[in-house]
Structure 1
Amino acid sequence: MVQNGGSGRKGSFGQSMKAVMWSFLGVRKRRDLEADAAQLNPLHVIIAALIGAAIFIGILILIVRAVVG
């Protein structure tokens, strides 16, 4: 019987953030991807991806303002 109380995954938010940042760069190894899929909490990955996207957009805005202004 499967319990719906939790995902049972033990990955920390820091591990999720690290996995997302490496994925943004596109340099993940297949075995690392499979290990992440087995360990990381999907909610942590989604939150880390949103934070990473916000940081990326912020950096782009700063670069554009520096070049234009």
Structure 2
Amino acid sequence: MIDNGGEKGGSPRKSSFGQSMRAVFWSFFGVRRRRDLEADAAQLNPLHLIAAALIGAAIFIGVLILVVRAVVG
């Protein structure tokens, strides 16, 4: 028996962490095409997406802190 990650359709999810980072980056701006969104939903690993979102949020907060320090200081 071959385990395909619990998906119906026969093919396992195939994506890299870089693809997840790219999807999260564009999602922060809200500029995703519906076709890309559907492809991401079929291919991206949910754990990669969670990690990429946390990294993206940390970078965003870090940039905000740097901007505030530059303006105030």
CA RMSD of aligned residues (A): 1.9
Instruction: Provide TM-score, normalisation by structure 2.
Output: 0.85
Distance 1:45 1:11 in 2: 11
Shift in Å, 1:63 = 0.2
Distance 2:2 2:30 in 1: 35
- Aligned-pair identity in percent equals 79
Give every structure 1 segment of 4 or more consecutive aligned residues whose post-TM-superposition deviation is greater than 6 Å: none
Kindly indicate whether residue 35 of structure 2 is the aligned counterpart of residue 31 of structure 1. Answer: yes
Kindly indicate whether residue 68 of structure 2 is the aligned counterpart of residue 64 of structure 1. Answer: yes
Query: Which amino acid in the other structure matches residue 55 of structure 1?
Result: I
* Partner residue, 1:46: 50
Deviations 1:1-47 (A, max 9, x none): 894x8463111100000000000011001110000000000000000
Distance 1:46 1:59 in 2: 20
Instruction: Provide TM-score, normalisation by structure 1.
Output: 0.90
Gaps (5+ residues) in structure 2? 7-11
